[in-house]
């Protein structure tokens, strides 16, 4: 691992999740990508330190998604080693272990989180004292069971274990350039099957959404550009584990061109909010307004920072 190099401003990059945040609330985008930068430093200004702490919050659905992704990555490793796919009960137990661990640290380690937010997993629901309803707990329990069953039953494992299949990456951070901008792409699983097709797998633990299609389209663009794979050899698979459904999507060159143009337009829009684009210095916070969709705020990590302004804007 390289030595830590302090940067006064964050590095400029683009990702699908950055775009999602930009389109839902500009203030949230500001805190997440700029206002929390260097907030881990002991001498950080209090607002920056608070933004950094709040950025670290998770929520119960994210923890479930993360636990499922970890289990999927473990199965990939096992299949690569020629070992059997675990039983659904084993995967479910591992998912529940992760959930219990985060629940416990959220309940017991609040003080440590205030001092060392990067050391403690903390749920938004505990931090803000909102609690987790019985309904939500029931839903999470059901999803833990369903996703574990669907994950082990996925046809992906047989394909991945076939002789001649080549694993390219599993949950690996990578970037590719669009214009001058590094674009992040982290497919859950990428492999080349015995027919020479490059399969991009994205595990989902929530509902079907149009955004998911856009996300895998970006991954297809990444595979085309970074790995030089012709578009007719790229297949994307959205695996909705709790719904037990699967969407197979292929894209044309023209469709990927549209994806590229949309990403470039989004970058342009983001850079319009920079005071100095060469150093990625943002304009003042006031240029990043609070979302008009106030129903988002109660569940937002940065609510503590916006609370007063939100109250003033309704009075």
Residues in the chain, overall count: 315
State which of residues 18, 28, 37, 55 lies at the interface with ligand SF4 (CB under 6 A): 28
Long-range contacts at 75-82 (CB < 8 A, ≥ 24 apart): 75/151, 75/152, 75/157, 76/160, 76/167, 76/170, 76/189, 77/170, 79/157, 79/160, 79/161, 80/160, 80/167, 82/161
Q: Provide, rounded to whole angstroms, the least separation between the CB of residue 232 and ligand SF4.
A: 41
Partners of 199 in the β-ladder: 191, 235
Alpha helices for 228-314 (secondary structure H) = 253-271, 303-314
Partners of 177 in the β-ladder: 182
How are beta strands 274-276 and 281-282 bridged, if at all? antiparallel
State which of residues 290, 311, 314, 315 lies at the interface with ligand SF4 (CB under 6 A): 290
Alpha helices for 154-191 (secondary structure H) = 156-161
Judged by beta carbon, residue 178 or residue 290, the one nearer ligand SF4 is 290
Rounded distance, CA 155 to CA 169, Å? 18
Judged by beta carbon, residue 171 or residue 304, the one nearer ligand SF4 is 304
Instruction: Tell whether residue 306 is a contact of ligand SF4 (CB under 6 A).
Output: yes
Instruction: Tell whether residue 55 is a contact of ligand SF4 (CB under 6 A).
Output: no
State which of residues 7, 58, 303, 311 lies at the interface with ligand SF4 (CB under 6 A): 303
Partners of 248 in the β-ladder: 237
CB 26 within 8 A of CB 291: yes
CB 96 within 8 A of CB 116: no
State which of residues 94, 296, 308, 315 lies at the interface with ligand SF4 (CB under 6 A): 296
Instruction: Tell whether residue 302 is a contact of ligand SF4 (CB under 6 A).
Output: yes
Judged by beta carbon, residue 151 or residue 300, the one nearer ligand SF4 is 300
Instruction: Tell whether residue 22 is a contact of ligand SF4 (CB under 6 A).
Output: no
Instruction: Tell whether residue 237 is a contact of ligand SF4 (CB under 6 A).
Output: no
End-to-end CA distance of the chain: 51
Instruction: Tell whether residue 50 is a contact of ligand SF4 (CB under 6 A).
Output: no
Rounded distance, CA 286 to CA 4, Å? 31
Region from 25-33, 70-78, 80-88, 141-149 binding ligand SF4, contact rule CB under 6 A: 25-33
Q: Provide, rounded to whole angstroms, the least separation between the CB of residue 303 and ligand SF4.
A: 4
Judged by beta carbon, residue 116 or residue 294, the one nearer ligand SF4 is 294
Rounded distance, CA 205 to CA 61, Å? 8
Region from 33-41, 47-55, 268-276, 288-296 binding ligand SF4, contact rule CB under 6 A: 288-296
CB 273 within 8 A of CB 288: yes
State which of residues 16, 18, 22, 27 lies at the interface with ligand SF4 (CB under 6 A): 27
Instruction: Tell whether residue 300 is a contact of ligand SF4 (CB under 6 A).
Output: yes
Neighbours of 23 (CB within 10 A): 13
Total residues contacting ligand SF4 by CB under 6 A comes to 11
Region from 7-15, 39-47, 249-257, 290-298 binding ligand SF4, contact rule CB under 6 A: 290-298
State which of residues 25, 75, 148, 235 lies at the interface with ligand SF4 (CB under 6 A): 25
Q: Provide, rounded to whole angstroms, the least separation between the CB of residue 289 and ligand SF4.
A: 8
Binding site for ligand SF4 (CB under 6 A): 25, 27-28, 290-291, 296-297, 300, 302-303, 306
């Amino acid at each position: 691992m390289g030595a830590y190099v302090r940067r006064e401003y964050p590095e400029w990059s683009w990702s699908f999740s950055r775009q999602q945040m930009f389109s839902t609330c500009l203030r949230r985008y500001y805190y997440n990508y700029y206002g929390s930068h260097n907030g881990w430093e002991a001498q950080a200004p209090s607002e920056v330190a608070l933004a950094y702490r709040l950025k670290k919050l998770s929520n119960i659905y994210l923890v479930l998604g993360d636990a499922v992704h970890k289990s999927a990555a473990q199965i990939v490793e096992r299949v690569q080693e020629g070992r059997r796919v675990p039983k659904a009960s084993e995967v479910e137990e591992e998912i529940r272990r992760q959930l219990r661990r985060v629940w416990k640290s959220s309940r017991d380690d609040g003080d440590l989180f205030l001092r060392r937010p990067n050391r403690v997993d903390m749920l938004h629901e505990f931090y803000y004292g909102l609690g987790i309803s019985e309904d939500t707990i029931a839903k999470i329990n059901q999803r833990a069971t369903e996703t574990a069953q669907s994950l082990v039953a996925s046809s992906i494992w047989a394909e991945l274990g076939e002789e001649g299949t080549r694993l390219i990456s599993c949950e690996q951070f990578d970037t590719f350039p669009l214009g001058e901008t590094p674009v992040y792409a982290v497919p859950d699983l990428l492999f080349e099957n015995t027919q020479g097709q490059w399969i991009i797998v994205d595990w989902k633990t929530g509902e079907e959404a149009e955004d998911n299609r856009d996300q895998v389209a970006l991954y297809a663009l990444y595979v085309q550009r970074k790995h030089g794979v012709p578009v007719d050899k790229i297949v994307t698979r959205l695996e909705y584990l709790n719904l037990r459904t699967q969407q197979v999507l292929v894209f044309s060159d023209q469709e990927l061109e549209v994806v590229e143009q949309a990403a470039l337009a989004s970058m342009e829009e983001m850079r319009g909010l920079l005071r100095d684009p060469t150093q990625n210095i943002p304009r003042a916070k006031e240029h990043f307004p609070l979302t008009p969709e106030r129903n988002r705020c109660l569940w937002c990590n940065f609510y503590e920072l916006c609370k007063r302004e939100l109250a003033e804007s309704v009075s």
